[in-house]
């Protein structure tokens, strides 16, 4: 890899519990334990792509916290700035879908350690003074006032040190009482962001960007909403994916990037088999970030690399991509994953 950067993220890493062999929670007599969480997943993937990564969070000072740290360390993520305290780790249960039965996620994270974090528990100066990229997601914003306060302080340090910011909306209705509750917190992040992972719902409903005329076609509406948002902010690129679900184990995926003057789209949806769907969006984000770091002025490459990383992550068990740049590049060559400019 020609260009290596220091990438920082703030969020929650959780204990993932999965019934084996595609069974449901009701059927389960045992669970397979693993770790995952939006921003942590992105950092793990970027670490395997050759970057220096550092995770900011708070974990319990017990064996569960130690195990989460070991998980991150095993993938090359720096954990030296993680705060420790409280006794609970966030958990989520995953029912892996099969055939016509979709995957399901059940959260148990209300009193996790990160929700007790204090704004002075992290060393922001060390984290950001030599960083080049910061990643955050809307899932983290849903974890309460304490967590949001730390997230916004991270963004202030990004502004201080001219660190590029990517924000994945990742709006999850299970984590909010309503869209209206989420709106002000998402809106507060966008002025700091250089790159967004968002769709027309995020822009039109959460950010309340309005068009001069109603557009029925969803694709065209997405384009016009994105361009209007870009014209009003410092955002350079808005990335996203479109998914066709044939069955739980058989999907098609395409990707797009909207910037000020152009729309980039991957050619055709790529159809593929799924082993484990969880983490596909985080893999897409990590691939895009990697592509932009290599060449910020070439969203075409970032689009292709992000889509390939996401598709490949669906073939791996667990939440994270452990693939190298060479492995992703090889998939791009063999799959015909091209992008076109419009």
Query: Is residue 88 domain-resident?
Result: yes
Query: Is residue 112 domain-resident?
Result: yes
Q: Please give the backbone phi and psi of residue 53, each rounded to the nearest 5 degrees, phi first.
A: -130, 150
Contact between 329 and 309 under an 8 Å Cβ cutoff? The reply is: no
Closest CA to 282 of 16, 4, 1: 16
Domain of 74 in residue numbering reads as 6-341
Query: Is residue 122 domain-resident?
Result: yes
Query: Is residue 1 domain-resident?
Result: no
Identify the residue whose tokens are 């452990």.
322
Query: Is residue 261 domain-resident?
Result: yes
Query: Is residue 51 domain-resident?
Result: yes
d(CA 153, CA 35): 26
Query: Is residue 17 domain-resident?
Result: yes
Query: Is residue 13 domain-resident?
Result: yes
The number of domains in the chain is 1
Tens place of pLDDT for every residue, the chain, 342 residues? 456 689 999 999 999 999 999 999 999 999 999 999 999 999 999 999 999 999 999 999 999 999 999 999 999 999 999 999 999 999 999 999 899 999 999 999 889 999 999 999 999 999 999 999 999 999 999 999 999 999 999 999 999 999 999 999 999 998 999 999 999 999 999 999 999 999 999 999 999 999 988 887 888 888 999 999 999 999 999 999 999 999 999 999 999 999 988 888 887 799 999 998 899 999 999 999 999 999 988 899 999 999 999 999 999 999 999 999 999 999 999 886 765 555
For residues 145, 284, 220, 180, the Cα torsion angle rounded to the nearest 10 degrees is -10
CATH number at residue 169: 3.40.1190.20
């Amino acid at each position: 890899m020609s260009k290596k950067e220091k990438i920082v993220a703030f969020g929650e890493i959780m204990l993932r519990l999965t019934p084996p062999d595609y069974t449901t929670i009701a059927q389960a007599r045992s669970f397979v334990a693993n770790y995952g969480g939006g921003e942590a997943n992105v950092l793990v993937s970027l670490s395997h792509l050759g970057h220096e990564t550092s995770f900011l969070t708070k974990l319990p000072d017990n064996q569960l916290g130690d195990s989460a740290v070991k998980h991150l360390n095993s993938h090359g993520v720096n954990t030296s700035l993680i705060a420790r305290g409280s006794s609970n780790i966030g958990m989520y249960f995953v029912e892996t879908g099969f055939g016509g039965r979709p995957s399901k996620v059940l959260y148990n994270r209300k009193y996790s350690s990160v929700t007790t974090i204090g704004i002075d528990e992290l060393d922001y100066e060390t984290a950001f003074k030599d960083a080049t990229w910061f990643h955050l997601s809307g899932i983290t914003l849903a974890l309460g006032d304490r967590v949001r306060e730390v997230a916004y302080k991270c963004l202030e340090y990004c502004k201080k040190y001219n660190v590029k910011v990517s924000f994945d909306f990742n709006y999850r209705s299970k984590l909010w009482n309503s869209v209206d509750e989420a709106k002000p917190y998402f809106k507060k992040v966008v002025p700091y962001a250089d790159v967004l992972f968002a769709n027309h719902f995020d822009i039109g409903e959460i950010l309340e960007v309005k068009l001069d005329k109603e557009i029925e076609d969803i694709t065209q509406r997405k384009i016009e909403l994105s361009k209007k948002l870009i014209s009003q902010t410092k955002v350079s690129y808005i990335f996203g994916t479109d998914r066709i679900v044939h069955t739980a184990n058989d999907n098609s995926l395409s990707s797009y990037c909207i910037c000020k003057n152009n729309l980039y789209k991957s050619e055709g949806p790529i159809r593929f088999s799924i082993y484990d769907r969880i983490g596909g969006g985080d893999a897409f984000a990590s691939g895009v970030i990697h592509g932009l770091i290599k060449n910020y002025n070439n969203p075409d490459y970032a689009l292709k690399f992000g889509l390939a990383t996401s598709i490949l992550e669906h073939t791996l068990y667990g939440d994270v991509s452990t693939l190298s740049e060479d492995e992703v590049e090889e998939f791009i060559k063999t799959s015909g994953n091209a992008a076109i400019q419009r």
